[in-house]
Amino acid sequence: MNAVDRDAIQSFRYALLVLKAPFPEGEAVIATSAEWSYEYAENVLKAPFPLGEAAIARSAEWSCKYAIFVLKAPFPLGEAAIATDADFAVSYVEHLLKKPFPLGEAAIAESSCRCFQGYLKYASDKFKEKVFSKDVAVIAKDAEWSYLYAREILKAPFPLGEKAIATDAGCSYSYARDILKAPFRLGEPAIAKSGSYSCYYAKDVLKKSFPLGEEAMAKDPMCKENFSEYKELFPKKPKPALPAFFKY
């Protein structure tokens, strides 16, 4: 921690923990730090902190958080910084803008498939064409890319990518639910390894029990509530009674 940040955090802590109120005499120091300007606004002022916005605007993280949690509105001064970081650019769109963010699209387009997936709901067709411009044979080797290609570009099944999709529980479930709107047998072994996805697959796709996934459901502590609901929805049928033996 450098001297500026140390002085800023001390002023912030004095306001938060001692005064439990704003500390005007320390605000000039706090305003030199992006992080502590944000924390001061969020936790002490519970309102915008204009004096610290120049510092905040130099950071993608603190600009994004300041916009979402303090301003609850766009923060144009910080958008240039936000646009340099794909994760924060996507968060800025998902949690605040709810519309395309052209300034951030270069970083988003170069990010991982998992990152830009959240942006696709708001993206233009031009952006989608750009991120899916790679060769179809390359897309077909990756589960997430294949699922998103089916959903966003084809809006239909993508047989060439189904082998890859079938290696991933989440993608297999989503492909069955969103694209096939029917069971995806090839992906069921992967789904069956996840308690949660097994429950979702049974309820949302099969509309009946999924015996292959029941072991995973029973073992997954995070699936306890879902598994209880599953057992209520799909109770096991009693085995038929064995025929009685008759004495002759």
Between 20 and 239, the higher pLDDT residue: 20
Residue 106: band (very low, low, confident or very high) from pLDDT cuts 50, 70, 90: very high
DSSP annotation of 71 reads: I
Q: Which amino acid is at 85?
A: D
For position 5, what pLDDT does the model report?
55
Is the CB of residue 172 less than 8 Å from the CB of residue 184?
A: yes
Mean pLDDT on 219-237? 89
Q: What is the pLDDT of residue 243?
A: 62
**Band (224; pLDDT cuts 50, 70, 90):** confident
- The pLDDT value recorded for residue 4 is 44
Cα–Cα distance for residue pair 195/218, rounded to 1 Å: 7
In angstroms, the CA 50 to CA 69 distance is 15
- Per-residue confidence at 114, pLDDT binned at 50, 70, 90? confident
Residue range 169-214, pLDDT digits in tens: 999 999 999 999 999 999 999 999 999 999 999 999 999 999 999 9
Residue burial 56-83, b: 16+ Cβ < 10 Å; e: rest:
bbebbbbbbbbbbebeeeebeebbebbb
Instruction: Evaluate if residue 240 carries a pLDDT over 80.
Output: no
How many other CB atoms sit within 10 Å of the CB of residue 226? Answer: 19
The model's confidence at residue 78, banded by pLDDT at 50, 70 and 90, is: very high
Instruction: State phi, psi for 241 to the nearest 5 degrees.
Output: -65, 145
Rg from Cα positions in the chain: 26
Checking if the pLDDT of 76 tops 80, the result is yes
- Give the pLDDT score at 89: 97
Who contacts 228 (Cβ-Cβ below 8 Å, separation ≥6)? none
- State pLDDT tens for residues 116-130: 999 999 999 999 988
Q: What is the average pLDDT score of the chain?
A: 93
Q: How far apart are CA 80 and CA 106, in angstroms?
A: 12
Task: List helix spans (H) across the chain.
Answer: 3-13, 27-30, 34-39, 53-56, 60-65, 79-82, 86-92, 105-109, 113-116, 125-131, 136-139, 143-148, 162-165, 169-174, 188-191, 195-200, 214-219, 224-233
The three-class DSSP label of residue 176 is helix
Tell me the CB-side half-sphere exposure of residue 145, using CA atoms within 13 A: 18
Q: What percent of the chain has pLDDT over 70?
A: 94
215 neighbors 231 (Cβ within 8 angstroms): no
Residue type, 65: K
CA distance 124 to 229: 39
- Which residue in 49, 85, 54 sits closest to 69, CA to CA? 49
